[in-house]
Structure 1
Amino acid sequence: MTSPGSAGPSGPAVARVLLEIGAVLMRPKDPFILTSGRASPVYVDCRKVIGYPRARMLITGHAIEAIWREIGVESLDVIAGGETAGIPYAAWIADKLGLPMAYIRKKPKGFGRNAQIEGVLPEGARTLLVEDLATDGGSKLNFINAIRNAGGKVSHALVVFHYGIFPQALDDLKAQGVTLIGLATWWDVLQVAGDLGHLSAEEAKDVRSFLENPEAWSAARGGKNPASKE
């Protein structure tokens, strides 16, 4: 049975390989504090994939399939990776598709050409933004604006891992005319971790309570709400 926030066909396979290489950490009793300030019982480090050739081959394969399925490879001119974790994924995907690659800095480098985008991005190029993961979608908007300011077109962003629990992320991207494609979500990880016996029933219940109401779970453990005015 597909989980409420499953990424779809690729979800269980990508979730399993992330679990296998130790890229997924679960600490319901000792929460992580995310960049947003939220407390979380789970954390994923997609950067770890670069050290596992078979893992990156599998994940890249699923990314290519998702592109074929959701976009169509003849509808793209450039693959662009976001600094820094999106760069290797963009390189692997661009190589497999035989497409030019670019990468996008979080902000212009401040000297020389003062460039924010490096590589190839012709005027009007139909560009796929690639990142390692998406939480609430904020950093994606920065990269999307950079692509458009440079004359590129972008209507899709692909991530290896989408938290799948912050609907506002999808709404914000949709408002900018961008569809988010995620290969796996926390719902996929929870399902696979349970199947493999990586979580006790109590731990699984705690993680599920976070996924169903992340803001309340975080607030109860001292985390911040990024949307708060305080």
Structure 2
Amino acid sequence: MSTASRTSDQRRTGQTVARILMEIGAVNFRPEDPYTLTSGWMSPVYIDCRKVISFPRARKEIIEHARQTIVRKIGFESLDAVAGGETAGIPYGAWLSDSLELPMLYVRKKAKGFGRNAQIEGDPRPGQRVLLVEDLATDGASKINFVNALRAADLQCAHALVVFFYGVFPGALKLLEESGVTLHYLATWWDVLEAAEDGGYFSREAIQEVRAFLHDPVEWSLRHGGRGPEVAV
């Protein structure tokens, strides 16, 4: 999704969060040696939102933007708990639950296999309306496991929030939409590209290659040995 199709509030949030991620070194441009994403796509860019845990002022600003996004898009009293996805979503879940003054849960990728054999940790209550929180999303597929786990525990999950959404791969939101989940996000690669150009963070050549990727990620991924549209979700 390009920045042009978003509201002014979304654009301001996207630019602020993108600049923060650039400043703390969470953004990596490497078109000459592409990254293989967990989804199978090849990408000249990689984002490491886990770095935010080491920057208190940066994370406070990001969480405030997340809180405002939730209030604006979901509502003041439309959630009962916040659930972080194992592992990168757990700190974001903790910070956001504190900011929203809501109980926190966290969701394991699979049941731990001993003791209570729980996949949901905390104090889940049947019927709770839960926001799933993760650090980022590429094609949305990894979120489905967490959503299914929450629903299997008799919790409601109609919303997920990530700090960063790639926002370029075709059909990226299809699985979530078909599962009745709305994905909310703070920044995309379009925001990062704009911030990178404004701040002169990367070479002209690197920026041009990233722009080529953003305009046609399928062709770029295929050309660099990644997945193609026949397996896109």
Q: TM-score, normalised by structure 2?
A: 0.93
1:55 Cα deviation after fit: 0.6
Alignment counterpart, residue 126 of structure 1, candidates 126, 129, 139: 129
Counterpart Cα distance in 2 of 1:211 and 1:106: 30
Alignment counterpart, residue 197 of structure 2, candidates 171, 194, 208: 194
Aligned residue identity for 2:166? Y
Kindly indicate whether the alpha-carbon contact (under 8 Å) linking 1:81 and 1:129 is maintained by their aligned counterparts in 2.
yes
Counterpart Cα distance in 2 of 1:200 and 1:149: 48
Counterpart Cα distance in 2 of 1:212 and 1:120: 44
Alignment counterpart, residue 74 of structure 1, candidates 67, 73, 77: 77
In the alignment, which residue of structure 1 is the partner of 2:40? 37
Number of equivalent positions: 228
Distance 1:159 1:5, change over 3 A: farther
Kindly indicate whether the alpha-carbon contact (under 8 Å) linking 1:5 and 1:165 is maintained by their aligned counterparts in 2.
no
1:199 Cα deviation after fit: 2.7
1:77 Cα deviation after fit: 0.2
In the alignment, which residue of structure 2 is the partner of 1:221? 224
1:227 Cα deviation after fit: 4.7
Kindly indicate whether the alpha-carbon contact (under 8 Å) linking 2:169 and 2:218 is maintained by their aligned counterparts in 1.
no
1:36 Cα deviation after fit: 2.2
Counterpart Cα distance in 2 of 1:42 and 1:89: 22
Counterpart Cα distance in 2 of 1:222 and 1:127: 38
Higher relative contact order (CA 8 A, sep 6+): 1
Aligned residue identity for 2:44? P
SS at match of 1:73: coil
What pairs with 1:156-171 in structure 2 (closer than 5 Å)? 156-171=159-174
Q: State yes or no: 1:51 paired with 2:54.
A: yes
Counterpart Cα distance in 2 of 1:39 and 1:174: 24
SS at match of 1:129: strand
5+ residue gaps, structure 1: none
SS at match of 1:15: helix
5+ residue gaps, structure 2: none
In the alignment, which residue of structure 2 is the partner of 1:3? 3
In the alignment, which residue of structure 2 is the partner of 1:104? 107
1:38 Cα deviation after fit: 2.0
Counterpart Cα distance in 1 of 2:227 and 2:170: 18
What are the superposed Cα offsets for residues 33-92 of structure 1, whole Å, 9 maximum, x if unpaired? 112232210000000000000010010000000011000131000000000000000100
Moved more, 163-172 or 4-13: 4-13
Q: TM-score, normalised by structure 1?
A: 0.94
Counterpart Cα distance in 2 of 1:157 and 1:28: 30
Counterpart Cα distance in 2 of 1:227 and 1:21: 36
Percent sequence identity over matched residues?
Answer: 59
Aligned residue identity for 2:92? Y
SS at match of 2:83: strand
Moved more, 174-183 or 164-173: 164-173
Distance 1:148 1:131, change over 3 A: same
